[in-house]
Copies of this chain bind each other. A is one copy, B any other.
Amino acid sequence: MLDFGYPTRMTQSMTVAVLGATGAVGQEFLRLFERRQFPVDELRLLASPRSAGHKMRFRDRDAIVEAVSPESFAGVDLAFFSAGASRSREYAPAAIAAGAIVIDNSSAFRMEPGVPLVIPEINLDAIGPADRLIANPNCTAIILLMAIAPLRTLGTIERVIVSTYQSASGGGAAVMQELEDQTRAVLDGREPEPRHLPHPYAFNLFSHNTPINADGLNEEEAKVIEESRKILGETNLRINVTCVRVPVLRAHTESITVEFSGVAPSEDEVRDVFGRAPGVILVDDRAANHFPMPREASGRAEVLVGRIRRDPSHPNAICLMASGDQLLKGAALNAVQIAERLMQAGRLDPVGLAGAG
Residues in chain A within 8 A of chain B (CB atoms): 159-161, 163, 165, 179-180, 183-184, 187, 198-200, 203-207, 209-212, 215-218, 225, 238-240, 242, 244, 246-249, 253, 255, 257, 267, 286-291, 293-295, 307-314, 317, 319, 321
Contact = CB atoms under 8 A, between A and B. Distances in A.
A295 to B, nearest CB: 4
Given A319-B240, A321-B207, A310 B199 contact: no
11 contacts: A198-B289, A199-B293, A204-B293, A205-B293, A206-B289, A211-B289, A240-B257, A240-B311, A244-B253, A244-B255, A244-B321
Copies in the complex: 2
A207 B313 contact: no
Contact of A217 (B212, B288, B290, B309): B309
Given A183-B183, A216-B286, A257-B161, A238 B293 contact: no
Contact of A215 (B180, B187, B225, B310): B310
Contact of A246 (B165, B217, B287): B165
A313 B160 contact: yes
Contacts of A307: 207, 216, 242
A288 B211 CA distance: 9
A184 B202 CA distance: 12
Sorted nearest first, the 6 A-B pairs with minimum C-beta distance are A216-B309, A163-B163, A238-B313, A163-B255, A240-B313, A204-B295
